[in-house]
Structure formats: structure tokens, C-alpha cells
Amino acid sequence: MPIHQIIVDLSYLYITFRYRNRRKDMAKSRAATSNDEKEEFGPVFARVYAIAASLSRRHKTVYSKALEDIVSLNPSNILEVGSGPGIAAALIAQKLPLAKILCVDPSSTMVKIANKRFERLSLSPRVKSVVGKSSSISTTEKFDLIFSSLSYHHWSDGPRDLNVLAGKYLSAGNLLIYENFIANPENGNGGMHHHGISKKDIEAMNIPGFKKSYEITGKLVTVKFCNI
């Protein structure tokens, strides 16, 4: 991609993020958007986010952590929730050549971007993306690992949806959540409280029959649920 195009895309990304933050602040007082709608990105933002995710150091740090954890567990059938442009799934599939990965995202644009990535990397049909949400996935499959990276804060009802995922789609194994950690949400944290989870959010995450643990490393938190 030409350097001038990258500059244009990143400039637009900055404007879009600022605009989304202001919209969310306004939405607190208006309550104009339903819970389910907040999971979905529109087509323009989806394309901008896909570019940002491939360039962002923050995303690379999160994807590296997820890759390290998941490869060490060596699962055979993986579900990624809120998979976006499919970067994490592609990295994992390249390290686990026998694993199947189903990605779900509420944005049809994200799903198209992800599937094009998988086709380009010769990962299809072992890895595929479909439209779905944390609360509603059109599959009867069971998975031995479910994970989500930088998506949980978009879920319509995180604690509820964790239990839906574990109850309906996890046969045995682990459920992993990777998120931005917000140490002081009451202070706004530079406006990033919209894009992460706090200690209070972590405490609210519970799944009966699973052992929960979490690890905070700088601005990254990993929440792990292990079937007991």
C-alpha cells in the first residue's frame, strides 16, 4: 500500500475513534442505542478498524499473547467471538495446522474481510468467519476452546453471554478473554473506558463449574475460565 494511503487511512481512523467516543458519551444520556446494536460496527468503521488492527502495536501485543496461550493448549476445534478482520485466527491457524477455527462477528463487512484473509493465506475452509454475536451463534458444533480478543467490552451483556457460550458451545476445555485493562474507569482514563474492562467487570465474570483466573500485564488483562 502506498505510504500516502496509509497516512490517509490512519488520519481517518483517528477521526473515527474520536467521533465514536463522543457518540458513546452522548448515548449515556440519551440511551438511543439498544444493547444488541452496540456490538456491531458499520461498513465504513469495519474497514477502518481492519486497517488499524493490522498496524496497531496494541493489537499486535494482544494477538501475540493470545497466540502464545492458545498454541500451548493445542486445541483442535476453536471458536473466536468478535473476531473482526480475522488476524488472530489466521495467526493461530498457521501455528496449529490441524485445528479448525470458526470465527463469528456481528459485522457482515468484517466477516467478508476475514474470509478474504483466510482464502489469501490458504486457510479456508479449515478457518472461516460467519455472522453472529456473543449471544447468538448459528452452529450446533461444540468446541474445546473459545476465545475473544478486544471484543468483550462490545458484548451486549458480557456475564450473561459468557454463560451462554460455555453452556451451549464449549464441550470441555477453556474460555479465554483478552481485553484492555482500565485501572481507573471513574477517572475516564483518557476516554478509553469505552474500550476495555475494569476490575469490577472482571469480578462480574463468572461461569458455574469453571475456575476463573486472571492476569494483568500493564494495560492488558487476560481472563481464563477452565472447566473443572
What structural domains does the chain harbor?
3-227 (3.40.50.150)
Q: What is the pLDDT of residue 7?
A: 45
Q: What is the pLDDT of residue 152?
A: 96
Q: What is the pLDDT of residue 32?
A: 40
The pLDDT mean for the chain works out to 84
Going by C-beta distance under 8 Å and a sequence separation of 6 or more, which residues neighbour residue 99? 75, 76, 77, 78, 92, 93, 126
Cβ neighbourhood burial of 80 (10 Å; 0-12, 13-18, 19+): buried
SS3 102: strand
Residues of the chain with pLDDT under 70: 1-40, 187-194
Buried b (16+ CB within 10 A) or exposed e, 98-128: ebbbbbbbbbebbbbbbbebbeeeebeeebb
Query: Residue 136 has what DSSP assignment?
Result: B
At 48, list the grid cell.
477502518
Query: Residue 81 has what DSSP assignment?
Result: E
Q: What is the pLDDT of residue 23?
A: 43
* CA diameter of the chain: 52
Cβ neighbourhood burial of 83 (10 Å; 0-12, 13-18, 19+): buried
Q: What is the pLDDT of residue 192?
A: 39
Digit-coded pLDDT (tens) for 39-96: 567 788 888 888 888 888 889 999 999 999 999 999 999 999 999 999 999 999 999 9
Q: Sheet containing 210-217: which strands, arranged edge to edge?
A: 127-131, 100-105, 77-81, 143-149, 170-180, 220-227, 210-217
pTM of the model: 0.83
SS3 215: strand
Give the Cα separation of 201 and 183 in Å (integer): 11
From the DSSP assignment, how many helices (H) and strands (E) are in the chain? 7, 7
Give the Cα separation of 29 and 81 in Å (integer): 29
Give the Cα separation of 100 and 77 in Å (integer): 5
Which position has the grid cell 485493562? Answer: 181
